Amino acid sequence: MSDLQLQFEWIARLVRLDTTSRNSNLNLIEDVEAYLEEHGVASTRVPNEDSTKANLYFSVGPAVEGGVVLSGHTDVVPVDGQPWDTDPWSVVEKEGRLYGRGTADMKTFSAIGLSLLPDMLAAGLKRPIHFALSYDEEVGLLGAPAMIDEIRDLVPPPSAVIEGDPTDMQVVD
């Protein structure tokens, strides 16, 4: 299977999971945890107060300073009242674009990173790649602060954080 096919499968896999901000995101978190376990990668779940939602972070590569954090949120905005002409929980390709809830904001970013996990594990990385998946970004960035506190205390300091959320589809630094 090509990298592109695997990436598309991961995008479809994450879009299928209804992680609307008013709902739990544990379906996605559990799916990613199972995938990581298959590859022998340890992860840390940081739940909200009532354990109905959770952040998830994990690292690939050595536990040294200078890595990169790939950060993304797992929640999507509701589809209620929106004029979808396709199923928002399925990925549809039209004219070279992917349509489905979260394809632009922001499941595709996380899906591509997850699809590349086997390559990262095989690469013999000299610096780590850290993944940070948060909840409730769409309703006020509620999940990320607790996870950031843990990462700051428990993970060697990274050199950079790449947050894959689109900002008018422009790079912002």
Amino acid at 75: D
User: Is 3 a catalytic site residue?
Assistant: no
Given the residues 33, 105, 137, 138, the one annotated as active site: 137
For residue 147, cis peptide bond before it (omega within 30 degrees of 0): no
Residue 150 annotated in active site? no
Catalytic residue among 75, 105, 136, 138: 75
Which residues are identified as catalytic? 75, 137
